[in-house]
Amino acid sequence: MPTTIIAGNWKMNTTRQEARALVEQMRDALDAVEGVTTLLCPPFVHLETVADLLRGTSVALGAQNMHPESSGAFTGEVSPDMLRGLCEYVILGHSERRELFGETDEFVNAKVRAALAAGLRPILCVGERLEQREGGEADAVVERQVGVGLEGVEDASALVVAYEPVWAIGTGRAATPDVAQSMMATIRGALAARFGADAAGEAPLLYGGSVNLGNVEEYARQPDVNGALVGGASLDAEAFTKIVQLAARHS
Ligand code: 13P
């Protein structure tokens, strides 16, 4: 069975003081939960602060993005070498990066390979837009994102995939558990075709898109959903702690 992972993607939120307060409010309760890997993904500038606050706890740390090159003239970017040793995970190919910053599957693939080469665990985000779902293309879109996103990757053991349908992100319109499960089965199949059934069966697949404490258990009950990537609700210490506790009941 894959590890259950509940990751909080803070996106472009929190000042340094707010970041510190948020971690202090939930750190002990998160540390006490067993059977779930809890992961916080604050903005780059807070990684070190949060790392210091999480030291000695079981709560893991992730970045929200990364450039594939290890160094060079890429103003404003952050490299794998900068993240190595600071955090363990990195979110790559989030739909906001794809939609707002023009990231292609090929660029995301370069990032995934660079993350793995640096010893980071990539959380490859995939998901269709509303018109693609309505046009019956959702599976094909996600299969392509997974296929191209993992081109040249030979070992799936560090990989995490998050299915985040674009229409469910920040909208309060979460995918039904059936829709999430069905897409996870598609993703698991795509992973099995590339890495074999055993490796595919071990890869944590997360659902993201309007996850909250009212619906997290529904996802956790699905056989191929191994956790959640939480946006808005991860900025509320009480709600996020509860989400992790509820997920732990099903891990
Ligand atoms: P919300 O939980 O706010 O819908 O965001 C989901 C997301 O994009 C997490 O990466």
The model's pTM is 0.98
Predicted confidence pLDDT, tens digits, the chain (251 residues): 899 999 999 999 999 999 999 999 999 999 999 999 999 999 999 999 999 999 999 999 999 999 999 999 999 999 999 999 999 999 999 999 999 999 999 999 999 999 999 999 999 999 999 999 999 999 999 999 999 999 999 999 999 999 999 999 999 999 999 999 999 999 999 999 999 999 999 999 999 999 999 999 999 999 999 999 999 999 999 999 999 999 999 98
Looking at the structure of the chain, the number of domains it has is: 1
Boundaries of domain holding 239: 5-248
Alpha-helix residue ranges (DSSP H) falling in the chain = 16-32, 47-54, 80-83, 95-101, 105-117, 130-134, 138-149, 177-195, 197-202, 216-220, 237-248
CATH of the domain at 140: 3.20.20.70
- For ligand 1, pick from 98, 229, 234, 236 the residue to mutate: most ligand atoms within 8 Å of CB: 229
Catalytic position from the list 96, 103, 128, 164 = 164
Residue list, ligand 1 pocket, CB within 6 Å: 9, 94, 164, 169-170, 208-211, 229-233
Which of these is catalytic: 94, 96, 103, 128? 94
Nearest CA to ligand 1 atom 7: 231
- Give yes or no for a contact between 118 and 81, defined as CB atoms under 8 angstroms apart: yes
